[in-house]
Amino acid sequence: MVAQSVLRATGIEALMPDFNVLTADFDPSMMESGWRLMVRQEDQVMAQAILKDAQENSPVSPED
């Protein structure tokens, strides 16, 4: 949901089609593969660049 917020803050609409699974019957094993995040095709390249930049400049490392 953080990635979705990052994209929305830059004006890119992002949807999480599996969000209902998160709220209904959460299975921690689903976190291993991540969540689907969908953007418009014309926003795909920009969204990928924004998320890559956000990950690289995150104050918290993925290992934490």
Residue from 1, 13, 2, 6 nearest 43 by CA: 13
More confident of the two residues 1 and 41: 41
Going by C-beta distance under 8 Å and a sequence separation of 6 or more, which residues neighbour residue 42? none
pLDDT in tens, 26-55: 666 656 666 788 999 999 999 999 999 998
Residue 57's H or E segment, with its range, is none
pLDDT at 31: 61
